[in-house]
Structure 1
């Protein structure tokens, strides 16, 4: 009797079983990880020559009641020399009606050799009959959410699977931040950035260009409060943003984007470019140009250059961990005052 929490160990266990098991249960709260695991599990339930013509039947646990259950049980017992091999993939297995469980569990031990059943769900209670039986048979895999270094390795692998092989060091971490550390959100972001960049090197700025179009309202407020020189409110907002899990690197990048807008727009204004030319060249939305133009009245050229130096200094301090994030952000905000 065993419960596995490692996909590698679970797959190795399946491989060692003779004859091959006819069923398995996978619990994982991250949907994007389930599909590839079901494919891997299938490899250990059917020989390679049978998998070529394998039919996969997808069902929902909640649908296995009365008439549907009878039909399903008949299908799993169909014995025929010419029967097509089938994989029944039952999603949301924790929602199988209680009245159906006993008949279903009894049927698992009498499955046709051409049939295999994989149950998947986000989470299943330890007291659930299905879990208790499959755990007793050592056919239950429960994956924990990916975190920290494991999530970073997964994100890097996802980028490479999407065709992104060249990227700056901090790109995976930024992608994790933008995706709220959720594999289900990170996966489509990785595919999106792959389409955006093609074979080019993915830089941090690309992530901001593609994904960070609407910062958190408090981030806009932070810039406005900095412009008003309201030190107490700046400190309060920084603490609020950090306490909600906002990455200090992301906040510095957001402030850096504002500084970059100041410098780029100011330079073009100094060159005598018209508002239309500036908007075309920078690709900024009209409201961003208006907001930046208003702020530029307080930032002459010498001060804009000083802002870039302050940004680089803050970024370096964050990477070297020479001060706490709140102190570094407060220092940068102070340097950004008009």
Structure 2
């Protein structure tokens, strides 16, 4: 079952008895849990009908006991369980869990409790018996990053829900400036829609005027400017980062990280890996892989290796005081821009 199907079932009053939610997109997971609360538990019942546990602090058998206890003064209970150990390859905790208790419960869950496991991890440990059992007996939903047209469409819909029109170009500009975190993007959409007002329209220019680039997006833009021999713009971004009190050593580290990603994407692309496969291999959002892929076309692999070596040398010089940090990074950018 996918998330959309699960939401439809909840809205129809047909929730599952047990959910397992996992993935990196915490904003989407929160949206789903909010739907569970709003659709299944009346507001005046929430003090009695909702409970939260953490498997790092509470044995699973105690949580199952809570689920099996008949609710008091309310028709059903909603129990949230945070976990980073039972379903993943996480570190062992001091708590001893009787996993068989959960396995037995999954065979015959009560109809007056809804158990929701919130797994703090990108992947489940498929080797574990409890993971296999839960997948066969419960509703397991993955919340990974959205990207490409799906992400821009999500932004357009977010604006539309606030009765504001946002075009494709404005949505793409917002992503390029704020990144791909749904939580960050949602906050920026709120701000932009307040500016536009109900019935208003958001343009690319509005986004550029109102949304400041975060540090990582500034580094993306700086590398893009270097690749296109726009040295003046690259230096402008560098000076703006300094005004924002960013440390030169941190800036250099982020530049190095971006060039390392560009080289990795270039090498994996040469081996016929798809964008999605590269993203999975490197643990990156597909949008970041897309940007790096475009940038990789502008640098030979040998040039990228030389840049990374130069950055490693610069890092050593800055940390040992062999060169002034700001001057060292300025000289690096000037040399890089003149040889790109």
- TM-score, length basis structure 1: 0.53
Any idea what SS the aligned residue of 1:53 has?
helix
Contact 2:50 2:79 in 1 (8 A): yes
**Which residue does 2:193 correspond to in 1?**
194
Q: How does 1:1-338 map to 2 (within 5 A)?
A: 4=1, 6-11=2-7, 21-41=16-36, 46=40, 53-54=45-46, 55-65=49-59, 69=60, 71-79=62-70, 82=73, 85-92=76-83, 94=85, 99-100=96-97, 101-109=99-107, 111-121=109-119, 122-123=121-122, 124-137=124-137, 139-161=139-161, 163=162, 165-199=164-198, 200-212=200-212, 215-216=218-219, 223-225=230-232, 243=262, 245=291
Any idea what SS the aligned residue of 1:62 has?
coil
Instruction: Measure the CA separation in 2 of the matches of 1:60 and 1:90.
Output: 5
Q: CA deviation at 1:112?
A: 4.3
Larger radius of gyration: 1
Q: CA deviation at 1:177?
A: 1.9
Any idea what SS the aligned residue of 1:63 has?
coil
Contact 1:78 1:112 in 2 (8 A): no
User: What are the Cα deviations for residues 11-50 of structure 1, in whole angstroms up to 9, with x where unaligned?
Assistant: 45678998x6321112232111112223445678x5x7x6
Instruction: Measure the CA separation in 2 of the matches of 1:194 and 1:127.
Output: 46
Contact 1:79 1:112 in 2 (8 A): no
Contact 1:87 1:116 in 2 (8 A): yes
Instruction: Measure the CA separation in 2 of the matches of 1:32 and 1:86.
Output: 23
Instruction: Measure the CA separation in 2 of the matches of 1:9 and 1:37.
Output: 12
Question: Unpaired runs of 5+ in structure 1?
Answer: 229-238, 249-329, 331-338
Instruction: Measure the CA separation in 1 of the matches of 2:10 and 2:196.
Output: 40
- TM-score, length basis structure 2: 0.53
Instruction: Measure the CA separation in 1 of the matches of 2:70 and 2:234.
Output: 77
Instruction: Measure the CA separation in 2 of the matches of 1:141 and 1:227.
Output: 42
**Which residue does 1:262 correspond to in 2?**
none
Change (3 A) 1:135 1:95: closer
Question: Unpaired runs of 5+ in structure 2?
Answer: 88-92, 236-257, 263-287, 295-336
Contact 1:91 1:119 in 2 (8 A): yes
Contact 2:156 2:165 in 1 (8 A): no
Contact 1:27 1:142 in 2 (8 A): yes
Instruction: Measure the CA separation in 2 of the matches of 1:108 and 1:227.
Output: 57
Instruction: Measure the CA separation in 2 of the matches of 1:227 and 1:76.
Output: 58
Instruction: Measure the CA separation in 2 of the matches of 1:110 and 1:138.
Output: 11
Change (3 A) 1:195 1:14: closer
Change (3 A) 1:247 1:190: farther
Instruction: Measure the CA separation in 2 of the matches of 1:15 and 1:109.
Output: 25
User: What are the Cα deviations for residues 40-90 of structure 1, in whole angstroms up to 9, with x where unaligned?
Assistant: 45678x5x7x6762433233332233xxx4543332222367456320112
Contact 1:27 1:120 in 2 (8 A): yes
Question: What RMSD over aligned residues (CA atoms) do the two structures have, in Å?
Answer: 4.2
Bigger CA drift: 150-159 or 190-199? 190-199
Q: CA deviation at 1:219?
A: 7.1
